[in-house]
Amino acid sequence: MDIALASDHGGFQLKETLKTFLNDLGHQVGDFGTNSPDPVDYPDFVIPACRAVAEGRCERGIVICGTGIGACITANKVKGIRAALCLDAYSTQQSRIDNNANVLCLGGRVMGVELAKEIVRIWLETEFSGAERHRRRLAKIQAIEASSTYPTTERC
């Protein structure tokens, strides 16, 4: 599988470790940076990686910042991206089965390397269920992206 990989300085060490791990698993990795632990802004690296996924140049993406939160927020701004911040095995599996997440977000400062490797392995091996209810929900997300509107109520 072709995987886009990106991080900021907070995720740099984990990115480098996962790059080797992914290569060892037989995947092709497109490294979108950063290339050192020097301070940088995560959108500068997350957006190009996510565009590669959204445009079909890579099948999936993995983006990493210190907590994974900023990378996830940024990734989900790219049309066609369904990014999930995963910190445990169950949510990782569900992000693929139910949500067909195409970008995995990780926190380089909040998880150990072995947990990160296990999450990546699960995420890559788990397929989307294709269940009608999940396809219907994803279609609603795509409609929001296409129109920038969503039916609302008059509350709040």
* 137 burial via Cβ count (<10 Å: 0-12, 13-18, 19+): middle
156 is catalytic: no
CB count within 10 Å of CB 59 equals 15
Which listed residue (50, 58, 65, 86) is catalytic? 65
For residue 118, give Cα distances in angstroms to 30, 94, 131: 20, 14, 25
Evaluate whether 14 touches 108 at the Cβ level (below 8 Å).
yes
Which residues are designated catalytic?
65
